[in-house]
A and B are shown apart, each in its own frame.
Chain A
Amino acid sequence: MEMVRMKNVYKTYPNGVGAIYDLNLVIEKGEFVFIIGGSGSGKSTLIKMLYREEKPSRGEIILGGVTVNKLRNSKVYKLRRKIGVVFQDYKLLPKLTVYENVAFALEVTGADSKTIRKRVIDVLTKVGLRHKANTYPDKLSGGEQQRVAIARAIVNDPKILICDEPTGNLDATISMEIMKCLVDINKELGTTVLMVTHDIDIVKSMKKRVLLLKEGRLVKDYPEGKFKNETI
């Protein structure tokens, strides 16, 4: 089953900068896909169009059956509930505890308190942070904050998890812990994972499908296990 389809997608920012040119792409349900490329090659732009932070200038984007490019502003929140997002800077709400941060993503869907409690404890246990439930984000290490962000991203049981350089701020050991966490989610929950990264070592070690962007174009698409090396 198709999770993502992008057809002849172009993106030019209002200031005239072109970021994506004629991009065609299909990602199947349950895949784990890396997106790599040099700085400014359009990686973030590509995934921003998936969670509808940016609109494509041209072309069609379908995610989990939703035609994202036709989605109205007022309905974007419905799309966001089907997608988990993880960023380099974690994007946790600073005035909420770990528990509250994760719970927030469920509360906004209108879930009842009992379900929320159970789900939040479940995912926090899954990322190994149950004991930090009542801590505020600024009291956590980078790796821990990122695990909270991942817990929040999966608490809704999304179909797809989109990560923009989730290990960008973390050292090699912690990065591998985060990767293990993402791979587990992909395997155990069957969640499609899309991960933008700069870290070629991680990409090499994981043996997953790899998309290479260069100056806004998709120039290579390595199937699972075929990626050897690239200089980006």
Chain B
Amino acid sequence: MRTLLFLMALLMLGCSATPTSSLYQKLGGAQGVDAIVYELIVNIARDERVIDRFKGVDIERFRTGLVNYICSVSGGGCEYTGESMQVVHAGHQYTDTEFNAIVDNLIKAMDRRNVPTRTQNSLLARLAPDYQNVVYQ
């Protein structure tokens, strides 16, 4: 009996000692987010709906900007230092089709990295409000 109590106490300690993991950690931390963004860029490069929009864009800058942004919205502790989503995308009249294409490419990137459904949903939930700031701005 006493061993059981001891074991239970140990288990409870173990629980309280584990910090509730952030979305950033669920995405696989720095390495995971890097890989997702890499796959996303590969998908964008293959997608005729959006590829023309990235002609002449500094892809390395885009990559680090996006990694930073995802890190900041997923509680990874990074501070995104770029311009707001509205300012970055303003003046381009990005379409609803293009927005869906980017989201689709992100989902495929996360699928490819075996990100679980609920983790995917959680990131998409944090990016969905950007629609207002990106489409037809």
Q: Are A and B physically bound partners?
A: no
